[in-house]
Amino acid sequence: MLGISHLLISGTATSLLLGTASPTIIAVGAIAGLLPDIDVSTSPAGRVLPWVSAFFESRMPHRSCTHSLVASAVVAAVGYGVALFHPQFINLVHALSIGYTFGWFADVFTRGGVEMFWPSPVRCVCPGNRNLRLRTGSNVEYFVLVVLIAIALAGQQ
């Protein structure tokens, strides 16, 4: 998926699940949706943190460990661990966890799928018919973006 797709999916999910229109909370959720792609050096997250990206890219295939329930659990554990000592950040941690999870979960609907149950190499995909899955930059992906923008704008009223 395109970076903008990850931003909109994660930002919209964060807003809807937390019931907020706070720009800060939504921005944290949206940016967190880009983090699973740290395993590719050409991704926005990979360009910001090239040393982290190089580590993952040289050791694991794309959409493996960073696109898994294990990764979401690690992000949540670290985030909520910080929130134990700094409770004022709890909403930001909620946004981080939601955004990160929706960021990689959106890739389940692409042709390549994700290794959701990493370290198992089995790829999870939806739907089962490969021809019905999203292709990066396709008209269907842009249609999904338009729908998400409409949902986000409708939620502002």
Question: For residue 91, which of 15, 8, 12 has the smallest C-alpha distance?
Answer: 15
Encode pLDDT of 116-139 as tens digits: 999 999 999 998 888 888 888 888
Residues near 81 by beta carbon (within 8 Å), at least 6 away in sequence: none
Q: What is the pLDDT of residue 37?
A: 95
Orientation angle between helical segments 139-155 and 3-18, nearest 10 degrees: 30
- Helix, coil or strand: residue 5: helix
d(CA 136, CA 101): 19
Q: Please determine, for residue 18, whether its predicted confidence score (pLDDT) is greater than 90.
A: yes
Identify the H or E element spanning 24.
helix 23-32
Q: Which amino acid is at 106?
A: A
Q: How far apart are the first and last CA of the chain?
A: 29
Q: What is the pLDDT of residue 148?
A: 79
Look over the chain and give the mean of its residue pLDDT values, rounded to a whole number: 92
d(CA 3, CA 31): 10
